[in-house]
Structure 1
Amino acid sequence: MPNLKQTPPNEMRIDKWLWAARFFKTRSLAAAAIKGGKVRVNGDRAKPSRLVKILDQLYIKRGDFSFDISIIAIAEKRVSARQAKLLYTETDKSIRQREKLTETIRIERKAAAQYGGRPDKQGRRNLMKLQGKV
């Protein structure tokens, strides 16, 4: 009978953990982010096969948002969003930065919606008058 090495339940591949904790929709997206340097484990770049354990510190960059978290539990399977939040704790600084960025994006979208796109002929003439080009 072959000797199969099984990882203990307190360790898991980082790509699988990120998928189970719902940071990425698929394991391949998680692996691509790890290979691209968007995920750091205890301050170091990692490979998708790296084993993470409880109390490891992760830095995850996803789009404009970044997460600075500490692993507090390992899930064998993908869990619901509510349970996924119980797998890690996020630093207060990370939460504040993300909330500030969310607020900034919300304000920018609201301002862009009020602008309404390109000016029409009358609006363009008014802009030219204001700029002193007429």
Structure 2
Amino acid sequence: MLAAGRQRIDKWLFFARAVKSRSLAARLVTGGRVRINRDKITQASDQVKPGDVLTITLERRILVWKVLAPGTRRGPAVEAQTLYEDLSPAPSKEETPDIAAPLRDSGSGRPTKKERRLTDRLLGRD
């Protein structure tokens, strides 16, 4: 019998809305992208309990969540946020580029060769 307050990691990730489906949660775990208290896990049946710290590697983000409670259902986002405390570091300056796309008039079509050369010269791609 399982101890009270414990839950499978794939169910918990699904209830906490880290992923869209439980099968995606299981795939995330078996792919080695989830750690419980700094230990890499490879089975979706591993258990989490309140107080555990999860490190989840998603496509372009690293989430660090502290488990506050096991989930009972996949409810609204507000309910899901009560399951964890977000300990993720703020995104660094390198992760958020400040380079804006060059502005062109709407409907002006593709850039001409001359405009392309000017753009390349501006970006240092001579």
Q: TM-score, normalised by structure 2?
A: 0.77
1:18 deviates by 0.1
Identity score, percent: 35
Residue of structure 2 in register with 1:27 after alignment: 22
What are the residue-to-residue correspondences of 1:42-121 with 2, within 5 Å?
A: 42-46=37-41, 47-91=43-87, 94-97=88-91, 101=95, 104=96, 107-108=98-99, 111-112=100-101, 114=103, 119-121=111-113
Range 49-58 or range 7-16, more displaced: 7-16
Instruction: Specify whether residues 82 and 128 from structure 1 end up closer, same or farther in structure 2 by C-alpha distance, changes over 3 A only.
Output: closer
Instruction: Specify whether residues 74 and 127 from structure 1 end up closer, same or farther in structure 2 by C-alpha distance, changes over 3 A only.
Output: closer
Instruction: Specify whether residues 98 and 122 from structure 1 end up closer, same or farther in structure 2 by C-alpha distance, changes over 3 A only.
Output: closer
Q: Aligned equivalents of 2:120 and 2:75: distance in 1?
A: 58
Instruction: Specify whether residues 113 and 73 from structure 1 end up closer, same or farther in structure 2 by C-alpha distance, changes over 3 A only.
Output: farther
**Equivalent residue for 2:9, pick from 5, 14, 39:** 14
1:97 deviates by 2.5
Unpaired stretches in structure 2, ≥5 consecutive residues: none
1:49-90 deviation per Cα after TM superposition (whole angstroms, max 9, x unaligned):
101111011001111111111100111211210011111001
1:125 deviates by 5.1
Aligned residue pairs total 120
Q: TM-score, normalised by structure 1?
A: 0.73
Does structure 2 retain, via aligned residues, the 8 Å contact 1:68–1:90? yes
Does structure 2 retain, via aligned residues, the 8 Å contact 1:65–1:98? no
